[in-house]
């Protein structure tokens, strides 16, 4: 048996207590002088570059201007993210069952763990570490790789192949909490497991085409059985 399980981060594995939004707002002000409508911006299921583009468009910036300058925000953002996570003093936490599930899967022969998240890679790893999640995620596709989420699973699969790990599409799961997670998995012909730990309830996630839906990951035995089936 071979399995590749690709997890989203925010809303699926961890709750970072708003650190990402706060950090991005501060970084936008530092770099561009204003943050746009960041308090009302929907971050769920989006990549960091997509969020920044949307905020700058709301400020009247054209895409060519954005493309030339977006990269300036990432260094300040990552530095401020570390500050915001530290300031929350333990408020970042994993969702129920996450630690146990990751330990269970990591102990299974033939199972590779990975990430598919809109976060920059370094941002994802900082959020996970702050929440106490230290699983061996070997591959991933990140917002630092592509602005469009549908492009991220192929990045993770390519990185797996570069490590000598090749998987049939039926042996790959995308696990997330938003319709965007479901869409990106389906766009690559992968199986999808959705969890209603974010803003979307189980019924909505089913309507968006998830192969399997759980309320959360706390029923470790059932979730693991599904992912290994």
Q: What is the pTM of this model?
A: 0.96
Task: Give me the pLDDT at residue 24, please.
Answer: 98
Please write down the HEC assignment for all residues of the chain.
CCEEEEECCECCCEECCCHHHHHHHHHHHHHHCCCCCCCCCCCCCCCHHHHHHHHHHHCCCCHHHHHHHHHHHHHHHHHHHHHHHHHCCCCCEECCCHHHHHHHHHCCCCEEEEEECCCCHHHHHHHHHHCCCCCCEEEEECCCCCCCHHHHHHHHHHHHHHCCCCCCHHHEEEEECCHHHHHHHHHCCCEEEEECCCCCCHHHHHHCCCCEEECCCCCHHHHHHHHHC
Q: Summarize pLDDT for 148-181 with one digit per residue, the tens.
A: 999 999 999 999 999 999 999 999 999 999 999 9
Task: Given CATH 3.40.50.1100, say whether it is the number of domain 3-16+92-228.
Answer: no
Which residue ranges make up each domain of the chain? Answer: 3-16+92-228, 19-87
Q: Summarize pLDDT for 176-203 with one digit per residue, the tens.
A: 999 999 999 999 999 999 999 999 999 9
pLDDT value at 89 more than 90: no
Fold for 19-87, please state it.
DNA polymerase; domain 1 (1.10.150)
Mean pLDDT of 116-136: 97
Task: Give me the pLDDT at residue 5, please.
Answer: 99
């Amino acid at each position: 048996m071979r399995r590749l399980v690709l997890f989203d981060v925010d809303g699926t594995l961890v709750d970072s207590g708003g650190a990402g939004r706060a950090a991005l707002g501060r970084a936008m002000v530092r770099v561009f002088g204003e943050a746009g409508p960041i308090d009302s911006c929907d971050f769920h299921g989006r990549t960091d570059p997509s969020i920044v583009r949307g905020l700058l468009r709301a400020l009247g910036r054209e895409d060519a201007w954005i493309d030339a300058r977006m990269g300036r925000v990432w260094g300040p953002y990552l530095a401020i993210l570390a500050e915001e996570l530290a300031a929350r003093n333990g408020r970042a936490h994993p969702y129920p069952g996450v630690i146990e599930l990751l330990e269970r899967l990591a102990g299974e022969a033939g199972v590779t763990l990975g990430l598919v998240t809109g976060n920059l890679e370094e941002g994802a790893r900082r959020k996970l570490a702050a929440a106490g999640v230290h699983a061996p995620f070997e591959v991933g596709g990140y917002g630092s790789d592509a602005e469009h989420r549908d492009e991220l699973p192929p990045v993770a699969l390519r990185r797996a192949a570069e490590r000598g790990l090749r998987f049939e599409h039926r042996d790959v799961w995308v696990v997330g909490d938003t319709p965007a997670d479901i869409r990106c998995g389906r766009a690559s012909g992968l199986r999808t497991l959705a969890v209603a730990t974010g803003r979307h309830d189980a019924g909505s996630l089913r309507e968006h085409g998830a192969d399997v839906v759980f309320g959360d990951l706390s029923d470790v035995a059932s979730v693991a059985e599904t992912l290994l089936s």
